Structure 1
């Protein structure tokens, strides 16, 4: 489509993430996007959602919605196990997709999604909104220009807190329905931003544990990562941390750049510390005033609508959307096998390509402190 008319948008899944994040972003982009339908397997919920938000059509069947509403763009906001089949159905119907993270439960499912994309679209983008804030874009430009020197060391921390009630929702904390623990469902945002800035990883060594929550998956993971550039990083993913924080640190030859936030950042959350040999004038240029765009679903939606209008592949689709899932897969494989994992080995003949737990019937890490759910 072109910018001559509004994009017809549908929402699939009318739970909390649709209400809190996706719908407000769509309302803010009402000049370019019109929500024409919503779909949910719960008829009462989708009808109430549509009535509250003045959405013309409510559906409980995805195929029927796609046929009758003819959306240009579908926001997929359902639990992770449903993503792959729903995204493929939307692509086959000619609709672009913005899919909540995690995009699916395995690299095999992700490759099924990309196989359904057309050469010139439609494309399926993953919600990795932290890439689209002006602070991240600024750092990306500086890295690309070599302004900060070579990347050397990084820290990537997702220290969040989710109590047991959070995991008592039937689909959470289970390999078959959520796909993984905080490595997949929570830390993926920070890991995606780290990868978008530092490039491809080459090798990962990891541990994971189920220390306090009654779940099938892990509730904490730790990893060390070597990038193809030679840079090295540590990664922490936790849902056991009462003082919550999302933290990224990048050490270059000429500067340290830090980002502290929780679920979203502004330009003021980025701190640049020059190396002793860098002049004040040079360092001041790194943080010159710019038009601020906080990281958010709106920032990503605006960029996605630009891509839809131009018929261009979005940054978090295809290879761009696969990077974080590759690292997640490598972390799980290393944690399960107790050995280093190279990115190059995550191929279709690897069991971890098909299941993030490698097909193991039941995982009991050495650090387990609680019993898994049955």
Structure 2
């Protein structure tokens, strides 16, 4: 029988989805022992729903619980850095929602702290998991797809005034960004997961849909390390909602399912250039085993990592790559410059991309 790890979920908004999709289906691997949220009225019915007896409003109380193995941080983005650092210092394993932190400087500090901690850190990128995305990844990793030519990512979602009625949303100090940080960060992660590292970014950001501080519409032109070209577009003003990723390779063209919030689940459209490529794909996938999507598989694979049976399914380095793209986007839009990657300590936005007037004193 595998070890069961005890979990405290901090923040019961998206935290409830972690429980429903991630921990309930993996009840042989995890047990939620505690919930932590400042809003007791919101926390109580969720605790009752899942039979969680331990309910606290203090994060310090969570860290003091000796029998909590995993701290799952689901709070607003502005709180992630301090909570992740404190949990690692306390020797806890840590799961943290996106964005992991609010700058490249912070993510580098987290990576350093992780190396000194007894705990393991897994950022959340749940869209990576499911049959569609994983079959595409398998075809690319097997070398069947061949040379990458071009990729496009469209994140066309809809957010209106009611969404921003929650006080921390739409503000630099608490959300740390807009569509780049809270929405398109997922499809952009899928894109680099499949197409590799970015070499250069030319991007534009704008606020066109809602009267908020942060951006809600973006567009960019990329050059990949492989030499492939790409375009990224996103808006929160679409009438309908889709996430669409289309990748053109030497031997195959791959297009995601268009489901906005779970593009990895259903089979993707795989168009081989010729019969030889089709036969290779059929042979690769003929014994395919179903992969549950989103949090169910990410949490199961985290358990594999905790018991030493597999590497982490998502790493702090993955989060750094996503935040590097965000940093390049903001810098390019502000300066009109093409931004080379990687971005290190000498870059003007390394310490923070948040405009100076919105930074905490």
Distance 1:24 1:151 in 2: 34
Q: Is residue 79 of structure 2 the alignment partner of residue 75 of structure 1?
A: no
Task: State which drifts further: 314-323 or 193-202.
Answer: 314-323
1:185 to 182, 185, 189: 182
How many pairs align? 357
- Work out whether residues 91 and 122 of structure 1, in 8 Å CA contact, stay in contact via their aligned partners in 2: yes
Deviation at 1:349, TM superposition (A): 3.0
Tell me which residue corresponds to 1:14.
12
Q: After superposition, give the CA deviation of every residue in 1:116-145 in whole Å (9 maximum; x if it has no partner).
A: 213585222111012222332222222222
1:327 to 312, 315, 325: 325
Deviation at 1:86, TM superposition (A): 0.8
Distance 2:180 2:81 in 1: 19
Distance 1:315 1:19 in 2: 21
Tell me which residue corresponds to 1:302.
300
Distance 1:66 1:153 in 2: 46
Runs of 4+ residues over 4 Å off in structure 1? 276-280
Tell me which residue corresponds to 2:90.
93
Q: After superposition, give the CA deviation of every residue in 1:136-169 in whole Å (9 maximum; x if it has no partner).
A: 2222222222111111100111110001221232
Distance 2:73 2:303 in 1: 16
Deviation at 1:9, TM superposition (A): 0.7
- Work out whether residues 175 and 217 of structure 1, in 8 Å CA contact, stay in contact via their aligned partners in 2: yes
2:224 to 203, 223, 227: 227
Distance 1:69 1:174 in 2: 36
Tell me which residue corresponds to 1:198.
195
- Work out whether residues 101 and 185 of structure 1, in 8 Å CA contact, stay in contact via their aligned partners in 2: yes
Distance 2:43 2:278 in 1: 56
Distance 1:274 1:286 in 2: 13
Task: State which drifts further: 136-145 or 191-200.
Answer: 136-145
Tell me which residue corresponds to 1:160.
157
Distance 2:195 2:349 in 1: 24
Q: Is residue 352 of structure 2 the alignment partner of residue 351 of structure 1?
A: no
Deviation at 1:37, TM superposition (A): 0.8
- Work out whether residues 202 and 333 of structure 2, in 8 Å CA contact, stay in contact via their aligned partners in 1: yes
Q: After superposition, give the CA deviation of every residue in 1:36-92 in whole Å (9 maximum; x if it has no partner).
A: 111112234334432332112111111222212531111111110011111111111
TM-score, normalised relative to structure 1: 0.89
Tell me which residue corresponds to 1:368.
none
Tell me which residue corresponds to 2:312.
314
CA RMSD, Structure 1 to Structure 2 (Å): 2.1
- Work out whether residues 83 and 99 of structure 1, in 8 Å CA contact, stay in contact via their aligned partners in 2: yes
TM-score, normalised relative to structure 2: 0.92
Distance 1:267 1:213 in 2: 30
Q: Is residue 337 of structure 2 the alignment partner of residue 339 of structure 1?
A: yes
Question: CA 1:6/1:324 → structure 2, altered by over 3 Å: closer, same or farther?
Answer: same
Q: How does 1:1-374 map to 2 (within 5 A)?
A: 4-15=2-13, 17-118=14-115, 121-259=118-256, 260-265=258-263, 268-276=266-274, 278=276, 280-285=278-283, 287-288=285-286, 290-310=288-308, 313-344=311-342, 346-357=343-354, 359-361=355-357
